[in-house]
Amino acid sequence: MNIPFLRGGDIAPVPNSITQRCAADAPTLLRQKYGVYYNTFESQRGTRVSLGGRELVMLASNDYLGLTRHPKVVAAGKHALDTWGAGTTGARLSNGSRAYHTELEERLAAFLGKEACHVSAAGYLSCMSAVQAFAEKDDLVLADKNCHSSLIAGIGLTCAELERFPHNNARALAEILGDEPVERPKIVVFEGVYSMEGHIAPLPEILKVCAGKNCFLVMDDAHGFGVLGEGGRGTVSHFGATDKVDIICGSLSKSLSSTGGFVAGSRAAVEYLRTHSKQTIFSAALAPAQAACALAALDVLQNEPEHLARLWENTRYYRDLLTSLGLDIWGSETPAVPIVRGDKERAYFFWKKLLDEGVFAVMSIAPAVPPGKDLVRTAISAAHTAEDFAIIEKAMRSAAKAWF
């Protein structure tokens, strides 16, 4: 089968109206005609989901520790609904703050080794705010080229100058810093673990080149939290550099199996964020059940180390499998494992083959990934079982053998 638009062939001529633009858009066509995006599952049971009546192994979830159905997490959510109701119907700054927010913030701050923390209704909002709140006109923001959309969106809301440095390249960062006066405030923005690539940031090198250069470091650790470091304390703990990164932001929707986000740092920085982040001031507070589930998941992470151990056991097994099949996993070092196909068509057919074989992954194409790196993103969970891996292995073998 040949899908010309995936080769950039028959996309409509330059659209001259928004209606035309919508009708000729590649991601929209992929969703509507080829079922790539916004798939809606009819049910879920552990790592299995049902799509169009077929049971599939979920290989695209960020439920790294497999806690979404943990009895303590589910019970905590139910109890919070009974105690606090459905939502807060207001922003933290006005009427939305509750005791459970403070409790979760104190627990997260202590876990991360920071003085304070602020939680919000989405990781996207937290990560946006982690840059937007601090950057001012005339500041210089230096961001890794592969930073998540939320960070770039936050930077876009400021009047600060932006320079992107090549992904995970501390030497390139040093070159930019070398040309800048020390007096100019600089914010260095990067991820602890990159969600598409599965790469870990070269934190020791970044710290070295930033030393003495008046840099404020903002790290998005959405995919390092609960995965790396002592007891899952994240990328800073992995490198023994907890006090060296000014701000750690992230999500409650991955290892903590809930929704929401956090920003952790010094008390002064977090208080400043509370009065300077538009995402905090003008958006309703994290809902009770979401906060309670995240807090319960944090308890589980701290008291049941077997989940983290199993996550890494599963990850090693899976990465070895993909490598033995000759698949390009872009040097992933973590449970977020891409299968790079290079172009959209190869990515699509690989994705489809997995689906036909009973495995659900996610096709990710430029601009979500750099040009030439169109890929199928997969992610491993502690909850994946030997039976899941038997299905995954068969699907991968058959996709790896196919012409695409």
Ligand X SMILES: Cc1ncc(COP(=O)(O)O)c(C=O)c1O
Q: Which of 47, 132, 158, 253 binds ligand X (CB under 6 A)?
A: 253
The minimum distance between CB 112 and ligand X, in angstroms, equals 16
Does residue 251 belong to the site contacting ligand X (CB under 6 A)? yes
Residue keyed to tokens 């009427």: 95
Tokens of 283: 């958006």
Q: Which of 30, 36, 76, 127 binds ligand X (CB under 6 A)?
A: 127
User: In the complex with ligand X, which residue's Cβ is closer, 251 or 277?
Assistant: 251
Does residue 234 belong to the site contacting ligand X (CB under 6 A)? no
DSSP letter (8 states) at residue 12: P
The minimum distance between CB 178 and ligand X, in angstroms, equals 28
User: In the complex with ligand X, which residue's Cβ is closer, 47 or 126?
Assistant: 126
Nearest to 313 by CA among 335, 331, 329, 287: 335
Helix (H) or strand (E) holding 32, with range, is helix 26-34
343-356 b/e with 16+ CB inside 10 Å = b? bbbbbbbbbbbbbe
The minimum distance between CB 221 and ligand X, in angstroms, equals 8
> Which neighbouring-strand residues pair with 49?
44, 56
Does residue 334 belong to the site contacting ligand X (CB under 6 A)? no
> Which neighbouring-strand residues pair with 250?
262
Cα distances (angstroms) measured from residue 349 to each of 109, 175, 267, 353: 44, 41, 50, 6
Does residue 122 belong to the site contacting ligand X (CB under 6 A)? yes
The minimum distance between CB 283 and ligand X, in angstroms, equals 12
Does residue 148 belong to the site contacting ligand X (CB under 6 A)? yes
> Measured at the alpha carbon of residue 288, what is the angle toward residues 285 and 291, in degrees to the nearest 5?
85
The minimum distance between CB 165 and ligand X, in angstroms, equals 17
How far is it, in rounded angstroms, from Cα 153 to Cα 396?
Answer: 35
The minimum distance between CB 260 and ligand X, in angstroms, equals 7
User: In the complex with ligand X, which residue's Cβ is closer, 358 or 370?
Assistant: 370
* 3-state DSSP assignment of residue 266: coil
| Residue type for position 111 | F
Stretch that binds ligand X, among 71-79, 123-131, 267-275, 283-291 (CB under 6 A): 123-131
Does residue 201 belong to the site contacting ligand X (CB under 6 A)? no
User: In the complex with ligand X, which residue's Cβ is closer, 158 or 235?
Assistant: 235
Give residues in contact with ligand X (CB under 6 A): 122-124, 127, 148, 150, 191, 195, 220, 222-223, 251, 253, 261
